[in-house]
Structure 1
Amino acid sequence: MAGSAHGDIPLTTISFSQRPNGTVATVTVSNPRKLNSLNTTVLDAFLSCVPPLAQRSDLRCVIVTGGLCSVGQQAFIGGADISEMKDFSNAEAGRTFINKLHLACKALRNLPVPVIARVNGHALGGGLVVMASADLRIATSDARFGMPEVQRGVPSTIEAAMLPAQIGAARARRLLLLGDTISAQEAESWGLVDKVVQADQLDEAVEEWVDRLLKNGPRALRIQKKLFAMWEQVPLREAIEAGVWEFGTPFEAEGFEAEGRRMMNEFQMQNRQRKSRL
């Protein structure tokens, strides 16, 4: 855990849940008086606890979410903290801050296991790019999404560069040039989030996806995430060739130590048992 919850002190915490098939980590961004906005304190804590997760061989997935807020609305992450940014003394201060936010997004993208964004409220600006850095996204129906940076005199940058590929260039331009804010339902129709549920159903929906991930091959999931990262960067031919190579990886070990061989045999046996009961 990075930091500890004392009143309304901004921080980022991490907790672990031990499951029969491995470990699930939950990263919680908390800045309760400011809709969980990101400042240097929060980002430093995030960067101290998230990158080391990549070294855990028992880790199966990571959930990233926002803490409870002390104001009326709930937020996943309400953006970057304007009260800090408004006092940047020069361009270098702005570049240092935004690069730290980029490193936080990169830390999520670099995790070798699936990351689920548990979007428990508004995801704006810096919060939206953190969300976009996750692999799977579940949001509450009252959440709002937007990139309002241009309305504050700065451009949307860093992982906002992924938005044209995720939601299409026209929709990305609407968010980034107009600074529009959209509903959870519209975000789902765009593909910005994968699923929208009522607030009281959020934990159940996240847990359903965690359970499904835990049933999948852990090595296969790590390979799949590795391939996704490669597909974003290389030509199609190279991406296909990499996939051919990686497809053989789950069969490298001897006997049922090989995940692909073991899980395919288990599936075949279960299928035979089902048919025998018909």
Structure 2
Amino acid sequence: DPAARALILQGAGSRAWIGGADIREMATLDSNSARTFIEQLHGVCRTLRELPVPVLARIDGLCLGAGLEIAACCDLRLASATSRFGMPEVQVGIPSVIEAALLPRLIGSGRARDLVLTGRIIDADVALSWGLVESVVPSLELETLTQERLSMILDAAPGAIRAQKALCRQWETLPLAEAVQAGIDAFAEAFRSDEPRAYMQRFLNRLRR
């Protein structure tokens, strides 16, 4: 949707944001159906990562396994103080896979290994100190925080936001010199529209008040 500006992912309540995949369903899988199952889940994650607009994870409650992988695909992760995070797959006989591969770049290799090799659960304060989430607030303040971040995104230039999201993805994979060049190209491309002039003029008008 060209008119879309952002996406917020949130759970239905405060018990779990996404508590992980259904263990009962996974217990019935064989090798072929397991491959289909995990490829479908990867498809969901890939779709989130490829969205051209910012994706905000509003996390309130458990964020485990596939839930944490989906959170890792988001651009901003905002959590309540009662949220819990983990990759407990090894405790039920399977490895953590697909977008668990994003964890080392978010929290470092050692901490990622801590999560996936032990299956232990960490609280929101630890997740914040590790850089797994960007903000932690009391549960009752989470909606306010989410709307504040959303408002800042919506107040920014939509073309610039999409360009920045694309650059963030490129920064993940390109060598430094190519990433810098991608930024130069994006900067020049931005001036093909009137958006920079309009938003710079808006900024200057605010200074005059």
- Asked if TM exceeds 0.5, the reply is yes
Q: Distance in 2 between matches of 1:193 and 1:133?
A: 12
More strand by share: 1
2:163 is paired with a residue whose SS is: helix
User: Corresponding residue for 1:63?
Assistant: 8
Alignment of 1:3-42 (within 5 A): none
1:253-278 Cα offsets, whole Å, 9 max, x none, are 3xxxx11111112212221x14xxxx
**Paired position in structure 2 for 1:4:** none
Query: Is residue 190 from structure 1 mapped to residue 135 from structure 2 by the alignment?
Result: no
Partner of 1:266: 202
Cross-structure match for 1:131: 71
> Which of 1 and 2 has higher RCO (CA within 8 Å, sep 6+)?
2
Query: TM-score if structure 1 supplies the norm length?
Result: 0.74
Structure 1 alignment gaps of length 5 or more:
1-55
Alignment partner for residue 83 of structure 1, among 24, 36, 40?
Answer: 24
Q: Distance in 2 between matches of 1:266 and 1:124?
A: 43
8 Å Cα contact 1:75-1:120 kept in structure 2: yes
Gaps of 5+ in 2: none
Alignment of 1:147 with 2:99, yes or no, is no
Cα offset for 1:249? 1.8
How far apart are the structure 2 equivalents of 1:159 and 1:244?
29
Work out whether 1:226 is the aligned partner of 2:162: no
Aligned to 1:38: none
- Specify the alignment match of 1:217 in structure 2: 157
| Structure 1 residue 202 corresponds to structure 2 residue 148 | no
Q: Secondary structure at the match of 1:116?
A: strand
TM-score (norm 2): 0.97
Q: CA deviation at 1:248?
A: 1.3
Letter in 2 for 1:81: D
Corresponding letter in the other structure for 1:265 = Q
Q: Aligned pairs, how many? A: 209
* Secondary structure in structure 2 of the residue aligned to 1:241: helix
Aligned to 1:116: 56
Select 2:32's aligned residue among 80, 92, 96. 92
RMSD over aligned Cα, in angstroms?
A: 1.0
Partner of 2:6, secondary structure, is strand
Higher Cα radius of gyration: 1
Overall identity of the aligned pairs, in %: 46
Q: Deviations over 1:174-218 (max 9, x none)?
A: 001111110001001111011111111111111111111111110
- 1:250 touches 1:261 (CA, 8 Å); kept in 2? no
1:89-128 per-residue CA deviation (whole Å, 9 max, x = no partner) reads x211111111111111111111100000010111000000
What is the Cα deviation at residue 75 of structure 1?
0.3
Residue 101 (structure 2) aligns with: 161
Query: In structure 2, what is the Cα distance between the partners aligned to 1:193 and 1:87?
Result: 33
SS of 1:160's equivalent in the other structure is helix
Q: Identify the residue that residue 44 of structure 1 maps to in structure 2.
A: none
Distance 2:204 2:144 in 1: 30
Deviations 1:152-175 (A, max 9, x none): 110001000010000001100100
Q: Distance in 1 between matches of 2:163 and 2:53?
A: 9
Tell me, in whole angstroms, the C-alpha distance in 1 between the residues paired with 2:168 and 2:150.
Answer: 19
Deviations 1:36-60 (A, max 9, x none): xxxxxxxxxxxxxxxxxxxx11111
| Equivalence for 1:19 | none
Cα displacement string for residues 211-234 of structure 1 (whole angstroms, at most 9, x for unaligned residues):
111111100010011011111122
